[in-house]
Amino acid sequence: MPAFTAKDVQALRQATGAGMLDCKRALEASDGDVEAAKRWLREQGLAGAAKRSDREATQGAVAVAVSDQAASAVELRCETDFVAKSESFVELAAELAELVAASGEDALSERANAIDDLKTTLKENISVGRVVRFPVSAGDVLGTYLHVQAGRGVNAVLVVMRDADEELADVAVHIAFARPAYLRRSDVPEHEIEAERETVEKISRNEGKPEAALPKIVDGRMNGWFKERVLLEQPYAKDEKRTIADLIGAAQIERFAQIEVGS
């Protein structure tokens, strides 16, 4: 029988930040002596992952997965692009996306140990970032896009449409590069609209625009502002003479999401 319990392994893991298996090996090597196990982990270069949790994780990879029930996009964060491009990191991101698509976001807890072990192996602060899951119903048309750079996904899009043909799912590619923040104008928070209108009005006055013409000038500039942010009003990336609303016609965009590494 081992001279330690599962609680001892967990306590050592919390104290050192090392992976579960490494903590077990350390306790085995030290006959259950916790302080000796800590020294063993330090000597093997396996301790200290907990300290890395304070370091900023601005790099990473994003993966997309589709199951019979849903589509998902998951961001796995790290500190450097070197780690973000590593095979084990990219594979774990893909595995997490598949898990979320099949079983939901709560299922990520099942892979907590794998994330901790990767922290120790790669010696960086690694964590799950943004997670999106869209359940897919009968009649939905799902569009996904993943822009890959240096072997890892960096820009992921999910879009769900109704009354659309498969070709219209190409809207996902447009979203990836146009980066809309909202689906329709009514989705934009009123306080953002009011703040922008006030700014635009001040700019127009400072430019010496006639007072009588200000309302029309401000409205025109606000329309341009909306076109930058609202998906349905954006010019289609492949044909700027048409808006996305023109492109989809009678079809409807139910919802969309974008996860871009570093944004």
> In this structure, how many other beta carbons lie within 10 angstroms of the beta carbon of residue 83?
23
Query: How far, CA to CA in Å, does 66 sit from each of 35, 90, 158?
Result: 46, 17, 10
pLDDT of 197 above 60: yes
pLDDT at residue 214 in the model:
92
What pTM value is reported for the model?
A: 0.75
Under DSSP, is residue 127 helix (H, G, I), strand (E, B) or coil? Answer: strand
- Between residues 122 and 52, which one has the greater pLDDT? 122
Domain spans in the chain, listed from the N-terminal domain onward: 6-47, 59-183+245-260
Report percent pLDDT > 70 for the chain. Answer: 94
Please write the tens of the pLDDT for every residue from 2-37.
Answer: 678 888 888 888 777 777 888 888 999 999 999 888
Is residue 263 scored above 90 in pLDDT?
Answer: no
Question: How high is the pLDDT of residue 148?
Answer: 96
pLDDT bin (cut points 50, 70, 90) of residue 120 is confident
pLDDT at 49: 52
The full length of the chain comes to 263
CATH classification code of 59-183+245-260: 3.30.479.20
Q: Which of 163, 159, 158 is nearest to 139 (CA)?
A: 163
Instruction: Assign 3-class secondary structure to 210-232.
Output: CHHHHHHHHHHHHHHHHHHHEHH
Decide if 6-47 and 59-183+245-260 have a common fold: no
Q: What is the pLDDT of residue 191?
A: 94
Separation of alpha carbons 104 and 99, rounded Å: 7
Is 121 exposed, middle or buried, given 0-12, 13-18 or 19+ CB atoms closer than 10 A? Answer: middle
152-186: pLDDT as tens digits? 999 999 999 999 887 787 899 999 999 999 999 99
What does pLDDT average to over the chain?
Answer: 90
- Given 3.40.50.920, 1.10.4160.10, 1.10.8.10, 3.40.800.10, which CATH number is that of 6-47? 1.10.8.10
